Amino acid sequence: MTVLSDAWAYLTTAANWTGEGGMLQLLVEQLLLTFTALGLAMLIGLPIALWLGHLGRGSLLAINVSNVGRAVPTFALLAILVVADWPGTREFGPYGRAGLATIIALTLFALPPIITNANVAVREVSPAARSAADGMGMTGWQKFRRVELPLSASLVLLGVRLALVQVWATATIAALVAGPGLGRVITDGFYRTNYGKGIAGAVVVAAVALVLEAAAALAQRVLDPVPDQGSSRSSKPRRGMSAVAPTVVAETDAVGP
């Protein structure tokens, strides 16, 4: 149990937080990586998934993307990218060593939850609402923008939230291939049998993960344009409009920590 007091000592020593390679710098680096990759994945994944959903297609894509994302270990992909000639371990702007390889891996692993949830969300908008929109003479774009998007927003946002958790976890694993981020405190600690340090790093990584998840949950509630739907979902999980099925898909599709 001395490792616990070692960990506490590491956490409460100011010098471990500040300066070059300190935990604060690594934390900022990992947050930067996380949000860059999440933004890229949204830019790539959302338009495709939403548009296919609007056309009523994409179920095969959604299933396959999440299956592949689950079966391929994040660690293996990171390792392959780092050992390859390109992108390799080169420094990449503010993202540190192996920054490019890490961003590519993070973006790829953020795609499945985003694509699956967005696609399912739009496809599952009730046919009655669609017919009503058609009956009102809305064009395809209007129907998408004013009916399908608001009705599917809460699930789309849930997908982004799951992707955020996934990306943070993958960014931590980047340290296993000598990549950037806070995971390095963990790997350094374990490789040099300084377990207190390793555990201290794990505590920080876990705490930030929980804070990010809580913030994302809050953001999801604030951003949801149809909040009534959201609250009825949380208080009474089984409800019409097949909200349950996609939620199951969504929750279990988080590709893994």
Partner 1 sequence: MTLLVAAASAGAAEDPSCYSRLTNEWFCWQYVVDRQDQLEAATVEHLQITVAAVLLGVLIAFPLALVARGVPRLETAILGTSTMLYTIPSLALFPLLVPFTGLSATTVVIGLALYALTILVRSMLEGLRAVPAEVRESASGLGYGPTRRLLRVELPLALPVLMAGLRVATVSTVALTTVGTIVSYGGLGNLISDGVLTNFRAELMTASVLCVVLAVLLDLVIVGTQWLLTPWTRGGVAAR
Determine phi and psi for 92, rounding to 5 degrees. -140, 100
Q: How far apart are CA 78 and CA 173, in angstroms?
A: 8
Size of the site for partner 1 (CB under 8 A): 52
Contacts of 56 (CB under 8 A, 6+ apart): 123
Say whether residue 203 binds partner 1 (CB under 8 A): yes
Residue 83, interface with partner 1 (CB under 8 A)?
yes
Which of 23, 82, 100, 121 forms a contact with partner 1 (CB under 8 A)? Answer: 82
DSSP string, 4-58: HHHHHHHHT-GGGTSSTT-HHHHHHHHHHHHHHHHHHHHHHHHHHHHHHHHTT--
Supply the minimum distance, in Å, between the C-beta of residue 202 and partner 1. Answer: 4
In the set 9, 28, 178, 215, which binds partner 1 (CB under 8 A)? 178
- Binding piece for partner 1, criterion CB under 8 A, among 46-54, 57-65, 131-139, 179-187: 179-187
Q: Please state the closest distance from residue 4 (CB atom) to partner 1, in A.
A: 5
Q: Per CB under 8 A, does 31 bind partner 1?
A: no
Distance of CA 160 to the CA centre of its chain: 6
Beta carbons within 10 angstroms of residue 224's beta carbon: 20
Q: Which stretch binds partner 1 (CB under 8 A): 11-19, 133-141, 189-197, 221-229?
A: 189-197
Omega prior to 127 cis, within 30 of 0: no
Which ranges of the chain would DSSP assign to H, the alpha helix? 2-11, 23-54, 59-71, 74-83, 99-123, 127-135, 140-143, 149-173, 183-191, 195-223, 227-235, 244-252
Burial 186-200 (b: 16+ CB within 10 A, else e): bbebeeeebebbbbb
The residue within the footprint of partner 1, chosen from 71, 86, 141, 222 (CB under 8 A), is 71
Tell whether residue 215 is a contact of partner 1 (CB under 8 A): no
Structure tokens at 257: 């920590």
How far apart (Å, rounded) are the C-alpha atoms in residues 11 and 215? 23
Q: Which CB atom, from 144 or from 168, has the smaller least distance to partner 1?
A: 168
Question: Between 50 and 255, whose beta carbon lies closer to partner 1?
Answer: 255
Q: Residue from 113, 201, 230, 246 that binds partner 1 (CB under 8 A)?
A: 201
Smallest gap from Cβ 134 to partner 1, in A, equals 32
Of 31, 63, 72, 219, the residue at the interface with partner 1 (CB under 8 A) is 72
Q: Which of 52, 151, 156, 202 binds partner 1 (CB under 8 A)?
A: 202
Assess 51 for contact with partner 1 (CB under 8 A). no
Are residues 26 and 219 in contact, defined by beta-carbon separation less than 8 angstroms?
Answer: no
The CB-of-47 to partner 1 minimum distance in angstroms stands at 27
Q: Which residues bind partner 1 (CB under 8 A)?
A: 1, 3-4, 67, 70-77, 79-80, 82-83, 165, 168-170, 172-173, 175-178, 183, 186-187, 189-190, 195, 198-199, 201-203, 205-206, 209-210, 213, 238, 244, 248, 251-257
